[in-house]
Amino acid sequence: MSLLVQKFGGSSLADLQKLQAVADRVVATRARGHDLVVVVSAMGRTTDELLGMARDVVGAPSRRELDMLLSVGERISMALLSMAIHARGHEAISLTGSQCGIITTHSHSNARIMDVRPFRVQDELEKGHIVIVAGYQGTSYRREVTTLGRGGSDTTAVALAAALGAEACEIYSDVDGVYDADPRVVLDAKQLDTLTHDEMMEMARSGAKVLNEQAVEFARRAGIALYARSTHIAESRGTVVRPDGFDERAADAERGRPIVAVSNINAGLWIQATTSTDAVCRAIEEFDTAVADCSETAVAAFLPTQDLHDVTALTAALRALGPDVEVSSRGLVSAVGQGAGSRLRWLRAANQALRVADLATERTFVMLNRLSWVVAEADVVAAANVIHDTLVKS
Amino acid sequence: MSLLVQKFGGSSLADLQKLQAVADRVVATRARGHDLVVVVSAMGRTTDELLGMARDVVGAPSRRELDMLLSVGERISMALLSMAIHARGHEAISLTGSQCGIITTHSHSNARIMDVRPFRVQDELEKGHIVIVAGYQGTSYRREVTTLGRGGSDTTAVALAAALGAEACEIYSDVDGVYDADPRVVLDAKQLDTLTHDEMMEMARSGAKVLNEQAVEFARRAGIALYARSTHIAESRGTVVRPDGFDERAADAERGRPIVAVSNINAGLWIQATTSTDAVCRAIEEFDTAVADCSETAVAAFLPTQDLHDVTALTAALRALGPDVEVSSRGLVSAVGQGAGSRLRWLRAANQALRVADLATERTFVMLNRLSWVVAEADVVAAANVIHDTLVKS
């Protein structure tokens, strides 16, 4: 039997009624003859409520104890979902991250998966059980409970799919797939049928929240197709994230239309320096999602606010590195597509359209699969629409 | 440094304010120079709320999944208490039942502790950390999450105290010790300064809820003194449960006053049979708290309702065993004291006082350290008062 891994996010499990609907969907998939591993997030606002309690107790909780606390959220979901599947006459068993063999680094609240040893999952699948797994958590090599950071349940799902050799991994959420721009920002954004892992990773890195970046990276390395689908639509077609060259769109790119989507980051720090460049680069190199150009004579870098623990402290620390270090607030708009950086024609077209719309850009970054513009925070929406009109719709 | 184990129940942790008060008390104990292990229950109504969610999902949840679900309650408490202790400038670390090496039987929802391997706890104590432990839970030899049943956090505390060679184990709750009768039933009940492990076990078995029976049994085997104290009284003297012969009360008993307390069970099944006696005995032998007399020609047994999963089903099953099997509702009143059963004088005095008060008794059971009377449910309160007046107060 073919093995599917399905992941349901917190909004798909917001209350017991929604949890029952997820159970229906799982049982229906089972009835189509699949072996099934189901990864769940914490129900609705559980994580926020637990976090609120922690902050009531102490301003800055220890990350180790926070992991102990937050990891219970997924355990509640998995036990209840397993019970709901029993009630439908199917055999199910819930397993914690640790019981699934999700081995992580020791970095609390932001651990990365190092290894997956899914022996227990395989045993239960062989017995014909539907396996329900607590997402977002693992156990470190020191046997400590760890959590994987934002979007971590996606990563759990893909890592298990890879380790188990699953046919595919389906990520269910409130949205019905990946759009060619954020629909809250670009009103005529359209759902994409398909895109490559590289493109999805660039989108995640540049502001799209629909799939977690590490999850897509795992899927790429394992060559697993990822389906982003809606929980609420019975036959949601959704979007497929596939290895490069899998589909006809590769041909589109050959014909000269490399850009598939626009993404945006509404708030970030924009850092420039001409002296102390080495110190500034070292101070920001830990931020994976930074867009930066570091040379000996100049640094220019954009850091998304959402990835910063303490913006005020970081700003002060950067300014203290030298009198010429400038730190200000900016947004970022990006155009993503396989080979986007290798066609200057599209960069030129976008720059011209932005100029016509009277939208100033602070700087343009050209990457292999992505073009990014640093703009004023107030201009993010307008710039995203202009670039979508110019490079995606046309 | 001497090692203390303290246990705080759910009502002592009913909300964040109470949790902060517990943190103050822990830090104060620490300041007196003790090494400390703190065992916590789930906060307030957490367990009931989780149970309610499970019953909303499915009428009869699987016990394995219920253990997965309910075990999160203590994890929330332990992480928050650890944070609250950090906020007071002390080093603390929370550990799950599994991390503490609490190894149990595989019997979900009612597991018994088989072994304690507290290596991790010892490591953390050696580093000078206050160790916060999730009560009520362990891990089976199959590496499954298990829970210990009602009052299980007491058992965790005593089992750890025994395994670590602690000086004493303090059980904190809303009541300020053990009383010589249930104060809700006998209005002039008095707090006891001290009693023996045997007496406390008999009280727990015959209806007193202040300490868990298995916990007292562990303490007795390890020769550990148990202190039952109030969370709300700063210098709560409480009650000490000690090995036999430890105190002057042993001398009292020698002088002929063996009864220390009265206990009561308000509701139970009263079973009588003269044929099918073997089948009836087999049907009830799994209930540890049964008071029974089984012979080949007659069975008489009292089973507390609170220990029965499904009273209606059990009643039907018993009646089906034979036409003469009688099952009805009764209560039980007991007089507990080291050697209570060996002095007929006290039994006679009690029987006479019950007769004078016009309280009919169905049957009297005489045990080594306890006398028990089966009475009508409506007579439990009156009978408990008569026996308290006659055997304890006088």
Beta strands B145-147; B137-140: pairing state: antiparallel
Residues of chain B contacting residue A84, judged by C-beta atoms under 8 Å apart: 57-58
Q: Does B14 touch chain A (CB under 8 A)?
A: no
* CB of B132 closer than 8 Å to CB of B81: yes
The residue whose two tokens read 């009612």 is B110
Tokens of A88: 């439908």
Give yes or no for a contact between A55 and B33, defined as CB atoms under 8 angstroms apart: no
How many secondary structure helices (H) and strands (E) does chain B include? 13, 18
Q: For B16, which of A57, A78, A84 is closest by C-beta distance?
A: A57
Q: Which residues of B24-43 are buried (b: 16+ CB within 10 A; e: fewer)?
A: ebbbebbeeebbbbbbbbbb
What are the strands of the beta sheet with B102-104, ordered from one edge?
Answer: B113-116, B102-104, B137-140, B145-147
Contact B210, B174 (CB under 8 A): no
Query: Across the interface, which of A20, A83, A96 has its CB nearest the CB of B62?
Result: A83
The closest CB to that of A65, out of B56, B72, B79, belongs to B79
**DSSP result, B264-309:** EEEEEEEEEESSSHHHHHHHHTT-TT-EEEE-SS-EEEEEEGGG-S
Output the tens digit of pLDDT for each of chain A's 394 residues: 699 999 999 989 999 999 999 999 999 999 999 999 999 999 998 999 999 999 999 988 999 999 999 999 999 999 999 999 999 999 999 999 999 999 999 999 889 899 999 999 999 999 999 999 999 999 998 899 999 987 899 999 999 999 999 999 999 988 889 999 999 999 999 999 999 999 999 999 999 988 888 899 999 998 999 999 998 887 778 999 988 765 555 555 554 668 999 999 999 999 999 888 888 888 888 777 788 888 878 889 999 998 787 889 899 999 999 888 999 999 999 999 988 888 788 899 999 999 999 999 999 999 888 999 999 999 999 999 999 999 998 6
Please tell me the distance from the alpha carbon of residue A263 to that of residue A205, in angstroms, as a whole number: 9
Residue of A nearest to B82 (CA): A65
Phi-psi region of B365 (alpha: psi -120 to 50; beta: other; left: phi over 0): beta
Reference B262, options B372, B361, B175; nearest CA is B372
pLDDT digits (tens, 9 = 90+) for B331-367: 999 999 988 888 788 899 999 999 999 999 999 999 8
Q: Does B21 touch chain A (CB under 8 A)?
A: no
User: How do B299-304 and B102-104 pair as beta strands?
Assistant: unpaired
What CA–CA distance (Å, rounded) separates B318 from B323? 10
| CA within 13 Å, CB half, B36 | 28
Side chain identity at A293, as an amino acid letter?
Answer: D
Name which of A237, A252, A266 is nearest A392 in CA terms.
A252
C-alpha B160/C-alpha B156 separation (Å) is 6
- Name which of A17, A38, A58 to mutate to probe chain B: the one with the most chain B Cβ atoms within 10 A of its Cβ: A58
Task: Please report, for residues B2, B127, B269, the alpha-carbon distance to residue B23 in angstroms, rounded to integers and kept in the order given.
Answer: 20, 20, 43
